[in-house]
Amino acid sequence: MKKAIFILSGLMSVAVLAGLAARAGQDAAGCRDHPSLTRMPQYDLVECSSSDFDSYDFYDPLTQGKTKVTAEGRKIWLSYQVKAEYADKSPTQLQIVRNYETAIQKVGGKTYSWTYPGGGELHARYAAGGLEIFARVYINRGGKGYTITLIEKEAMRQEVAADARTMAADIGASGKAVLYGIYFDIDKAEVKPESEPALTEIAKLLKADPDLKLHVVGHTDNTGALGHNLKLSQARAEAVVKELVAKHGVAADRLDPHGVGPLAPVTTNDTEEGRAKNRRVEMVKQ
């Protein structure tokens, strides 16, 4: 069984490929494509179902399919069948897999896939519309049909950012404060707007103690290459410093950015919960 692994980055927003617009002429009543993952044009959407809350097991792209992950949330199931005019020349299972891999690569996420005579599967996870989405594309009958199963899960939010008083206490006790309230898109270094409450508290901390200087240390999980994660964590630390200086009036000489990538985990990287805790920013007293 041939397997293909693709490690991807960014946020999900639209479309399978340019030119792959859905044609709904033969679609089942009440069925429509998922807004984040549309169909290949040779197919009709012949059946669908959804439930407000359910679970489904996926091969986890973050471990290259070595483990399974159970996702819980809104469940959507879509079944596609090749149009009659393409019955003798339907796309192969490999074509279907490659189209969806390319689409998800363009908009962000991670995939794990394989094909076999007559079928194939693709498992993916990506972000779209403030949700974490898990998807399975299952191909049957040599490409004449395929199904997509999706779970829409609320995007994982790390712990609420500590306030200035708590950060001061943590620094006094251990020399550092760990923050889970500074957010970045997948594989990106731009600080997201929802990080503002945490940044405001850091500025308050520094204003309350004019002599305090901090190392701003970026951390990642161990997904991906070490060199890439070191550069990413450095860029994220620099982005945090830039925000504090430009928008909160903190003197640049009070902040020193560093990136250590996955080299100082606080817990295991073998679970999504563990990886989430390892993705963090720390304020270390100079």
Tell which wins on pLDDT, 128 or 16.
128
**pLDDT score for 154:** 65
Tell which wins on pLDDT, 15 or 237.
237
For the segment 82-100, the average pLDDT, to the nearest whole number, is 94
pLDDT score of 271 more than 80:
no
Per-residue pLDDT of 246-265, as tens digits, reads: 999 999 999 999 999 999 99
The Cα 22–Cα 28 span in angstroms is 13
Task: Name which of 262, 263, 264, 244 is nearest 254 in CA terms.
Answer: 244
Whether 106 is in a domain gets the answer yes
**pLDDT score for 234:** 96
Lowest mean pLDDT among 23-32, 152-161, 250-259: 152-161
- % of the chain exceeding 70 in pLDDT: 87
Whether 159 is in a domain gets the answer no
How many beta carbons lie within 10 A of that of residue 3, not counting itself?
Answer: 11
Q: Are 44 and 138 in a shared domain?
A: yes
Please report, as a single letter, which amino acid is at residue 234.
Answer: Q
**pLDDT score for 256:** 96
pLDDT score of 45 more than 80:
yes
Lowest mean pLDDT among 47-56, 163-172, 239-248: 163-172
For the segment 153-182, the average pLDDT, to the nearest whole number, is 76
Tell which wins on pLDDT, 222 or 105.
222
Q: Are 7 and 148 in a shared domain?
A: yes
pLDDT score of 155 more than 60:
no
Q: Tokens standing for 155?
A: 């995007």
Q: Are 170 and 141 in a shared domain?
A: no
**Helix axes of 196-208 and 226-248: crossing angle, nearest 10 degrees:** 70
**pLDDT score for 228:** 92
Q: What is the DSSP letter of 252?
A: G
Q: Are 137 and 179 in a shared domain?
A: no
Mean pLDDT for the chain overall: 85
pLDDT score of 285 more than 70:
yes
Q: Which of 100, 133, 154 is the last residue of a domain?
A: 154
Per-residue pLDDT of 176-191, as tens digits, reads: 988 888 888 878 899 9
Tell which wins on pLDDT, 164 or 1.
164
**pLDDT score for 40:** 93
Domain count, the chain: 2
Q: What is this structure's pTM?
A: 0.51
Q: Are 146 and 38 in a shared domain?
A: yes
Confidence of residue 206 (pLDDT cuts 50, 70, 90): very high
On whether the CB atoms of residues 185 and 10 are closer than 8 A, the answer is yes
On whether the CB atoms of residues 254 and 144 are closer than 8 A, the answer is no
Confidence of residue 32 (pLDDT cuts 50, 70, 90): very high
pLDDT score of 193 more than 90:
no
Q: Are 128 and 187 in a shared domain?
A: no
Tell which wins on pLDDT, 259 or 61.
259
pLDDT score of 25 more than 70:
no
Q: Are 205 and 265 in a shared domain?
A: yes
Q: Which of 97, 132, 154 is the last residue of a domain?
A: 154
Q: Tokens standing for 256?
A: 């020193």
How many beta carbons lie within 10 A of that of residue 35, not counting itself?
Answer: 12
**pLDDT score for 204:** 93
**pLDDT score for 3:** 40
* Residue 240 lies in domain: 164-285
pLDDT score of 19 more than 80:
no
